[in-house]
């Protein structure tokens, strides 16, 4: 069975500082992994996804994530936070079942201080 754990429900950084949002997964097969972002009063949108090609995945808005099989992790980073990065971030895992379902983490709210 697939599952996702996001460490830290709230993360606060200063503008210009490194952003690190943590995600650990559990999967019985090599997984598909996603990061989604949700801005206030909006639905989720894809930031980036890992599909077993390169382990370092680059996404939109300067975000990237590294797949580490030995650590079962897929942490999201951005070198320099911007005020517009304030949002809720969700990690998701899919095992490629016939249904095409993903399992989502509980989310991490990122606050960016001026």
Partner 1 sequence: DVKVTQSSRYLVKRTGEKVFLECVQDMDHENMFWYRQDPGLGLRLIYFSYDVKMKEKGDIPEGYSVSREKKERFSLILESASTNQTSMYLCASSTRARWRGGFTDTQYFGPGTRLTVL
Out of 44, 57, 87, 110, point to the residue binding partner 1 (CB under 8 A): 44
Least CB distance from residue 80 to partner 1, whole Å?
Answer: 26
> Strand pairing partners for 107?
none
Dihedral sign (CA 84, 88, 75, 32): negative
Q: Does the protein bind partner 1 through residue 102 (CB under 8 A)?
A: yes
Least CB distance from residue 114 to partner 1, whole Å?
Answer: 25
Residue 28 CB neighbours (<10 A): 8
Rounded CA separation 42/33 (Å):
22
Out of 1, 28, 43, 56, point to the residue binding partner 1 (CB under 8 A): 43
Least CB distance from residue 106 to partner 1, whole Å?
Answer: 4
Phi, psi of 95 (to 5 degrees): -95, 5
Out of 1, 29, 53, 56, point to the residue binding partner 1 (CB under 8 A): 29
């Amino acid at each position: 069975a697939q599952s996702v754990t996001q460490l830290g429900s709230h993360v606060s950084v200063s503008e210009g500082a490194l952003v690190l949002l943590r995600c650990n997964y559990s999967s019985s097969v090599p997984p598909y992994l996603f990061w989604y972002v949700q801005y206030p009063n909006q639905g989720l949108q894809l930031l980036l996804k890992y599909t077993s090609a390169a382990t370092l995945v680059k996404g939109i808005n300067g975000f990237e994530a590294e797949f580490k099989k030995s650590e079962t992790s897929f942490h999201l980073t951005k070198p320099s936070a911007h005020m517009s990065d304030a949002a809720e971030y969700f990690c998701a895992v899919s095992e490629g079942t016939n249904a095409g379902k993903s399992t989502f983490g509980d989310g991490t709210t990122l606050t960016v201080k001026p």
